[in-house]
A and B are shown apart, each in its own frame.
Chain A
Amino acid sequence: MTARRLIIVGPLAYLAIFFLYPLGAIFERSFEGSRTDLGPVTEVLVAAAVPLIAYLFAHRKSPEKTPIQTLSTAWFLAPVVATAIVLLVLRIGVISVDPFNKLLGDSYYLGRIWFTIWQATVSTMLTVAIGLPVAYLFAKHDFPGKSVLKAVSTVPFIMPTIVVAMGFIALLGPQGLVNSALMDVFGLDTPPTRITNTLLIIFLAHAFYNYSIVVRIVSTFWANLNPRLEESAAMLGAGRFNTFRYVTLPLLLPAIVSSAVLAFAFAFTSFGVVLVLGGSQFATLEVATYELTAKLFRLELAGALAIIQMVFTYAFLLIYTRFQAGAAVRVDLVPHEVTSKGRRSASRTLFLIAIIMGVLAMLSPLWALFERALSSGGGYSFTHFTSLFSNESGSYFYRSPITTIWNSVRFATATMVISLVVGTIVAYFLARPRHRGAGVLDALFMLPLGVSAVIMGFGFLIAFNKDPLDLRASWLILVIAHTLIAYPFVIRSLLPALRGMPVQLQEAAAVLGASPVKTFFHIDLPILSRALLVGATFAFAVSMGEFGASLLLVRPEFTTMPIAIFRLLSQPGAANIGQALAMSSILMVIVAMGFVGIERFRYKDMGGF
C-alpha cells in the first residue's frame, strides 16, 4: 500500500522540476529588483482580491463536495493566497513590481490585453454560432455516415496550429485558392480579396479550430437530454420556440457555456494562428510575450505579461469547472438510444443536408492546403515537395526535410513515452478516490493545461540556462516541454477507463496467484489498451504540432516540422511558400493518420478534452 502511494513521488518531482521551477523562475524574473512605488498594480490586486474572497466564502457554504468543487476551490485558493502574500511582500519592499507598473502604464500593452480579450470574445461567438447547429445535427439525428462526419468535424481541432494557419493562407491568401479562382474567372491581374493580415481571417481560423469543442461537448449533452422534457412542454401548451427558450436552452446552457469558455481560453492564448495570419498589428498577449522574449529581450516584461495572462487563463478554467459541475448535478440524462430518432420531412432533410455540407465546407482550408501544395505554375506537380530537398538560397537554417521529419517523429515518440509513464502513474493514483488529497493532486497535475506554450517555453528558457540543469543545448528541453502539454491529455483519457474498472478484477487476479506486475500486464493493460492508445496518440500529435514553446527553445539542429514551416514562411518568395505548403501537407497527413486511430478506438464518449 505504502509502496503504491510512493510511486506518485516520481511524477510529483517531474512536475516540480519541470513545471513549478520554471514558473517560479518567471515570477522571480518579473518581481526582482529594487523597492519602488506600488503604482496601479496594488489597486488591481486589491480590486481582484475582494470579489475572489467573497466568492470563496459563498462557495464554502455548499455542504457536499464533488472532486470538481475541490478542484475549483484549490484553484481558487491559490490566487487568493498569492494575492495576500504578494501584498504583504510588497509592503515590506522585498520585491519590485516595476515590470507590472510598466506594462499597466503603457498604452501599447494595455491595448494588447484589451485586444486579446475582445478578439477572443468575437472568435468565441462565431465558434458557438457555427458549433450549435452541428451539435444539434449530431445530437438529434441519425443518418448514414454519421460517425464518419463526426470524426471529420473533429479534424480541425486536432490539426497543428501551423497547419491551420497554412490552410487559411492556402484558401484565402493572395495566391490562395479563392483568389486565384476569382482571378481566373474574371481575368483579374491582382488578387480581389485581401483578408490575410486582417481580423476576419483570425476570427475565421479560431472558429475553424475550436467549433468542434462546442460540437463535442454540446452534442453529447444534448443527445442525452431526456426528450420527455420537451414533450412535456409541448403537452403543457408550449410551441417549438417556447419549448426551446424555456426548456431546451436553459438545460443546455451549462454545456454551451463550458464549451464557450474553453473556446475562449484557446482563442485567448492563440499563438501560431495570430502570429502567422495576423501580422504584428494584431499581437495578442501571447504574441507580445513572444516578441518581448525573442526579439526585444525584455525578459522581466515578458514574465510580467505571462503572469497577467496566466491569471486570466486560470480564471477561465475556474469558470469552466464550475459550469461543468453545474451541468452534472442539475439535469437528468438518459441513454442516447432513447433520444435519437430519425424524423423525416422535406424541409428537415434539406436542413440536414445544409448542415452536412457546412461541416464539409469547414474543411476547405485543409483541402486548399493540399491543392496549393500540389499546384505549381499552371498545373499540378510535386515540385514543392521535391524542392524541399534543395537548399537553393544556401540558408544557415536549411535542414533536409528528412532530418526535420525525423526530428519531429523522434521527439513525438519520446514525448509519447514520457507522457504515458507520467500520465499512467498519476491516473492510477487519482482513480482511487480513497487516497486523501486526490482532488488537490488532480488540480495540481492539471495546472500545466492553464499555462500557454509560449509561457512554458519562456519559463524553460530562463530556468534551465545554468548548472546543474543547463538543458539549452539538449533536445530533451523540447521533449520535456511537449510532455507537460501532453500528459494531462493522457490522464484525462485514462481516468474514465480506470474508474470504470472494477477493483475486484485485480483482487480476483491476486487471489488466483498473480503478482502485481503480472496482474498489470494480464488484466489492467488489455482493459486499458484503448484508453492508453487514445492518450498515446494525443501525446504524439500534441508534440508533432507543438509550435509556441518549440519556437522559443529550438536550436537549428533540432528543427521540427512546425518550426521549419514557420521559417519557410518568414522568408520571402513564392517558392518558400510552396515548400511551406508541402511541409504542412506532410505534417497534416502524419497527424491525421494518428487520429484515424483515435476515432476507431475512442473509449466510449469521453471526448478528447
Chain B
Amino acid sequence: MPILEVSNISKSFSDGYAVEGVSMTADSGEIVGLLGPSGCGKTTLLRLVAGLEHPDSGSISFDGVPLNGLAPKDRGFGLMFQDLALFPHMDVVGNVSFGLRMQKLPKPEVRARVDELLALVDLAGYGHRKMHELSGGERQRVALARSLAPEPKLLMFDEPFGSLDRGLRESLQMEVRAILKKIGMTSIYVTHDRDEAFAMSDSIVIMDKGAVVQAGTAQELFKSPKSELVARSLGLKNVMMGTVSAIGEIATPIGVLHVGGAELSIAVGSRVLVLIDDRKISVADVAGAGSPPDGAFTGVVEGVNFHGGESDLMARIAEGMIACSIRPEDAGSQFGAGDEVYVTIPANAVRLVPFGG
C-alpha cells in the first residue's frame, strides 16, 4: 500500500517541459531511488513533491491526503539539497535545532533531541562547531541530522554526496541507508549514479527526458529492462536490438546469434532486446588461433581499457560493436587496436527481452 502517490504530474518551465505526465509511488519505510542523467527532470520531481514548485497538472498525495496548494513548511517533509544549504551563520546545534525551534518545542526537549541526533550521525561533541570548520563528510552528517530532526514523514535527497570523493561517498551511503532503515524513514533518493542508486534504494525509478521509463526493484529491472536506455542505465554493456529470424536464431547488427533454452519459445519475427553478458564472451587472436573456433565472429579491436583485474575490449563486428571482458590470465590478453580477433558468443551469454514498445 503506497503512502506517497504521484499521479500524472506535469511541470513546464519557459524553456520547455521539465516533467511530463510522471507517476510514481513509495511505500511506507521504503527508499526509492530516482535514477537518470542530469536534466532528466528528477530534481524537478523532487521539488514538486517538496512543494517548492507547483505542478501545472496532476496530483500528489501523501497518506491519502492530497497536497496540492500546501506550502512546503506545512507538508512535514524533509529535503537534503545537493549543496546541503547548511546555514553558515549558525553552528551545528543551530542548524540541527532549526526545524525544532520552528515547531516551538520547549528548550529542554530541543536540547535532548539535538543530542540524540548528533549521536545518531556520530557527531556528538561537535555542537558548537561552525560550518566552515567541518569537513565534507561532517557537513553531510549535519545536513542529515538537520533533516531528520523535525521527524519528517518523508525525507528526500537531491544527490547529496555528489561532491564527495568515492571512498567517503560509499561509506556514507551505507551509513545513511542503515540510519534510514533503522528509523523506518520513507525516502526518495535522487542520483545520476547507478551504483549509488543500487546501494541506497529498495526500488528504483528510471527517468529520462522528463518522463518515467521504468520502475521496479533492481532485480526486476535487471530481469526485464523495457528498453535499450533502461538496460544501459543499469550498466549493461552489450545491449542491442534484434529480430528473431528463425527458432533459436536472432538477427542483430553484429550478425546472427544462436540462443537456446527458454529463449527458443519467442515467436519468429518478434523484435527483441538482446543482452549479451560481456564476461562470457571469449576472444582469440586471428594470427595465433589458426583456424577460427566454431561459430566465431571475426572482428577488429577498436580499443582496450585496462582497469584493475579485468580489461574491457571493444571489438567491431559487422555493423555493431561488442564489449568483452577479458582477464589477464586469458591467452593473448595483449590485444591492441587494429588487431583482428575471433569473438565467440556462447548461447548461454545471450538473454532476450521481448520488446513491447
Residues of A participating in the B interface, judged by any CB pair closer than 8 Å? 226, 228-229, 231-239, 242, 246-247, 250-251, 329-332, 334, 342
Contact A250 B89 (CB under 8 A): yes
Among B14, B72, B78, B99, residue most surrounded by chain A Cβ atoms (within 10 Å): B72
Asked whether, in the complex, the Cβ of A237 is within 8 Å of the Cβ of B52, the reply is no
Least distance between A451 CB and chain B CB atoms (Å): 35
Chain A residues closer than 8 Å to B149, beta-carbon distance: 236
Q: Give Cα A546–Cα B150 distance, bound, in whole angstroms.
A: 59
Residue of A nearest to B79 (CB): A235
Residue of B whose beta carbon sits closest to that of A246: B98
Residue among B72, B83, B87 making CB contact with A235, cutoff 8 Å: B72
Residue pair A231, B81 in contact (C-beta under 8 Å): yes
1/0 per position for B89-102, CB-CB distance to A under 8 A? 10000000011001
Highest count of chain A CB atoms <10 Å: which of B14, B89, B103: B89
B102 and A232 form a contact (CB under 8 A): no
Q: How far is the CA of A232 from the CA of B158 in the complex (A)?
A: 12
Contact residues in A for B14 (Cβ distance below 8 Å): 342
Nearest chain B CB to A346's CB is how many angstroms away?
Answer: 15
Q: When the two chains form their complex, are residues B73 and A237 in contact, meaning their CB atoms are under 8 A apart?
A: yes
B52: nearest chain-A partner, CB-CB: A231
What are the residues of chain B within 8 A of A334 when measuring CB–CB?
Answer: 83
Instruction: Give the residue among A233, A242, A342 with the most B Cβ atoms within 10 A.
Output: A233
B73 touches A234 (CB 8 A): yes
A226 to B87, CA, bound (A): 10
Among A229, A237, A246, A329, which residue has its beta carbon within 8 angstroms of that of B85? Answer: A229
A329 to B130: give the CA distance in the assembly, Å: 12
In the complex, chain B residues whose CB is within 8 Å of the CB of A239: 71, 73
Which residue of B52, B72, B87, B132 is within 8 Å of A229 (Cβ)? Answer: B87
Q: Nearest Cβ distance between residue A325 and chain B, in whole angstroms? A: 14
Chain B residues within 8 Å of A242, by CB: 102
B72 in contact with A234 (CB, 8 Å): yes
Instruction: Verify if B192 is at the interface (C-beta below 8 Å from A).
Output: no
CB contacts (< 8 Å) of A232 on chain B: these are 79, 81, 85, 87, 146
Contact of B52 among A234, A236, A246 (CB under 8 A): A234
B68 to chain A, nearest CB (A): 16
Minimum CB–CB distance for A144 against chain B, Å: 14
What range describes how many residues of B lie at the interface? 20 to 34
Contacts of B98 in A (CB 8 A): 233, 236, 238, 246
B87 / chain A contacts, CB cutoff of 8 Å: 229, 232-233, 247
Is A330 a contact partner of B146 (Cβ separation < 8 A)?
no
Nearest-CB distance from B342 to chain A (Å)? 52
Is A236's CB under 8 angstroms from B85's CB?
A: no
Complex: A342 Cα to B14 Cα, angstroms:
10
Say yes or no for B77: interface residue by CB 8 A criterion.
yes
- Once A234-B52, A235-B77, A329-B132 are accepted as A-B contacts, the answer to whether A226 and B83 lie under 8 Å apart by CB is yes
Decide if B88 touches A236 in the complex (CB within 8 Å).
no
Question: Distance in Å from the Cβ of A9 to the closest Cβ of chain B?
Answer: 41
Q: Which residue on chain B has the smallest CB distance to residue A249?
A: B89
Instruction: Give B81's nearest chain A residue, CB to CB.
Output: A228
Q: List 21 A-B contacts (CB under 8 A).
A: A231-B50, A231-B81, A232-B79, A232-B81, A232-B87, A233-B98, A233-B102, A234-B51, A234-B72, A235-B72, A235-B73, A235-B77, A235-B78, A235-B147, A236-B98, A237-B102, A238-B73, A239-B73, A251-B89, A329-B132, A332-B88
List B contacts of A250 (CB < 8 A). Answer: 89
In chain B, positions 112-167 with a C-beta closer than 8 Å to chain A are 132, 146-147, 149-150
Interface residues, chain B, with chain A CB atoms under 8 Å away: 14, 50-52, 71-73, 76-79, 81, 83, 85, 87-89, 98-99, 102-103, 132, 146-147, 149-150
Between A226, A235, A238, the greatest number of chain B beta carbons within 10 A of the residue's beta carbon is seen for: A235
Closest Cβ of chain A to B190, distance in Å, is 14
Complex-state Cα separation, A226 to B88, whole angstroms? 11
- Whether B79 and A231, one on each chain, are in contact in the complex, defined by CB atoms closer than 8 angstroms, is yes
Closest to A238 in B: B102
- CA of A237 to CA of B72 in the docked complex: distance in angstroms? 7
Rounded to whole Å, the gap between the CB of B255 and the closest CB of chain A is 50
**Pairs of residues from A and B, 9 with the lowest C-beta to C-beta distance, nearest first:** A236-B99, A228-B85, A237-B102, A234-B72, A232-B85, A235-B79, A228-B81, A237-B73, A250-B89
Say yes or no: B71 contacts A234, CB within 8 Å.
yes
Provide the bound-state CA to CA distance between A583 and B85, in Å.
Answer: 54
A237 in contact with B89 (CB, 8 Å) = no
Q: Which residue of A lies closest to B158 (CB)?
A: A228
Q: With CB as the reference atom, state the residue of chain B lying closest to A229.
A: B85
> In the assembly, what is the distance between CA of A394 and CA of B14, in Å?
68
**Chain B residues whose CB sits within 8 angstroms of the CB of A233 once the complex forms:** 87, 98, 102
Chain A proximity of B28: nearest CB distance (Å): 20
Q: How near does chain B come to A347, taking the closest CB pair, in angstroms? A: 16
Q: A236-B98, A242-B102 are in contact. Are A231 and B83 (CB under 8 A)?
A: no
Contacts of A246 in B (CB 8 A): 98
A342 to B72, CA, bound (A): 19
CA of A235 to CA of B79, assembled, Å: 6
Nearest B residue to A334 by beta-carbon distance?
A: B83
* Chain B contacts for A236, CB-based, 8 A: 73, 78, 98-99, 102, 146-147, 149-150
Identify the closest chain B residue to A254 (Cβ).
B89
Pick from B52, B73, B88: contact of A330, CB below 8 A: B88
**Complex interface: chain A residues within 8 A of B79 (CB):** 231-232, 235
What residues of chain A lie closer than 8 Å to B72, measured between beta carbons?
231, 234-235
Smallest CB-CB separation from A230: which chain B residue?
A: B85
Q: In the complex, what residue of chain B is closest to A338 when comparing beta carbons?
A: B83
Inter-chain contact B83/A237, CB cutoff 8 Å: no
CB of A345, distance to nearest CB on chain B (Å): 11
B71, B73, B83, B99: the one contacting A228 at CB < 8 Å is B83
Report chain A residues within 8 Å CB of B81: 228, 231-232
Q: Do residues B88 and A237 form an inter-chain contact, with CB atoms below 8 A?
A: no
* Minimum CB distance partner of B14 in chain A: A342
Q: Is B102 within 8 A of A235, CB to CB?
A: no
B51 → chain A closest CB, angstroms: 8
- CB of A331 within 8 A of CB of B88, answer yes
CA–CA, A226 and B89, complex, Å:
13
Residue of B nearest to A236 (CB): B99
Inside 8 A of B89's CB, which chain A residues have their CB?
A: 250-251, 330-331
B14, B102, B132: residue with the most chain A Cβ atoms closer than 10 Å: B102
B132: chain A residues at CB < 8 Å are 329-330
Residues of B contacting A342 in the complex (Cβ-Cβ under 8 angstroms): 14
Q: A226-B85, A236-B98 are in contact. List 18 more A-B contacts (CB 8 A).
A: A229-B87, A231-B50, A231-B52, A231-B85, A232-B79, A232-B81, A233-B98, A235-B50, A235-B52, A235-B147, A236-B78, A236-B146, A236-B147, A239-B73, A242-B102, A250-B89, A251-B89, A330-B89
